[in-house]
Amino acid sequence: MKKLYPSAEAALDGLLSDGMLIASGGFGLCGIPERLLDAIRDAGVKDLTFASNNAGIDNEGIGKLLRTKQVKKMISSYVGENKEFERQFLSGELEVEFCPQGTLAERMRAGGAGIPGFYTKTGVGTQVAEGKEVKEFGGQEYILEEGIFADLAVVKAWKADESGNVIFRKTARNFNVPAATCGKVCVVEVEEIVPTGSLDPDHIHLPGVYVQRLVLGAPYDKKIEFVTTREREAA
């Protein structure tokens, strides 16, 4: 099965439609599928739901799609660095489903494992539990959370072989693995593609069985979420 595509646009060809649910990896600007998100924006699809830890920052990551009003709903755990997100949410333009971070990761992982729901103690007695089934185990209350089954998963990786076996680099692994597994189709943009068989099997984070399409995204410009400097000390 040929998985390598010449561009992000080609890798997404035939996969995009209005109103779809997309699982997107990344945390802030770390490990986000920049090229694929740009291609989704350029395709003009709308009324999208994104399951992602956050929406990037203003005009970066999913923030670019917020600017173009292509996102209808966010399923997220942290959204504090995006002013446009805040504006749209407070004005009623954007629907938001807040989800505790660990629960979000597990909802994606559960979807990837074919598990429709699971019980967790996180959120019991809070607004997170509103409208959800509560069940008691061992004298403790737990709430039912549903697995996420996305129409499409888009993730960013460090290295992959031509069969789609993927390695992430350090903290850039973050939500990328569970996001990748919960999509009906998974598209991975990667910094380096090597021949099949050249990666140590023990180092693989995401097996190729989960990956349908690959695109080489490099080179990348390193973006910094917060630039913190200090005055140079006098000699």
Convert the pLDDT of each residue in 121-143 to its tens digit: 999 999 999 999 999 999 999 99
- Nearest to residue 183, comparing CAs of 205, 156, 155, 160? 155
Q: Which of 110, 200, 215 is nearest to 154 (CA)?
A: 215
For residue 9, what are the contacts with CB-CB under 8 A and spacing of at least 6? 39, 42, 43
Average pLDDT over residues 198-225: 90
Cα–Cα dist 193/4, whole Å: 9
CB atoms within 10 A of CB 169: 14
Distance CA 155, CA 37 (A): 10
Contacts of 95 (CB under 8 A, 6+ apart): 72, 73, 74
Bigger pLDDT: 211 vs 27:
211
Long-range contacts (CB closer than 8 Å, 24 or more residues apart) made by 99-107: 99/75, 99/128, 100/128, 101/53, 101/77, 103/77, 103/128, 103/145, 104/51, 104/53, 104/75, 104/76, 104/77, 104/175, 105/175, 105/178, 106/145, 106/178, 107/51, 107/145, 107/146, 107/147, 107/148
C-alpha distances in Å from residue 168, one per residue of 11, 71, 122, 213, 234? 20, 27, 28, 16, 41
pLDDT beyond 70 at 4: yes
Full-model pTM: 0.92
Take residue 177 and report the two structure tokens written for it. 């693995």
Ordered by where they begin, the domains of the chain are 4-117+147-216 (3.40.1080.10)
In this prediction, what percent of the chain has a pLDDT beyond 90?
83
For 196-200, what is the mean pLDDT? 95
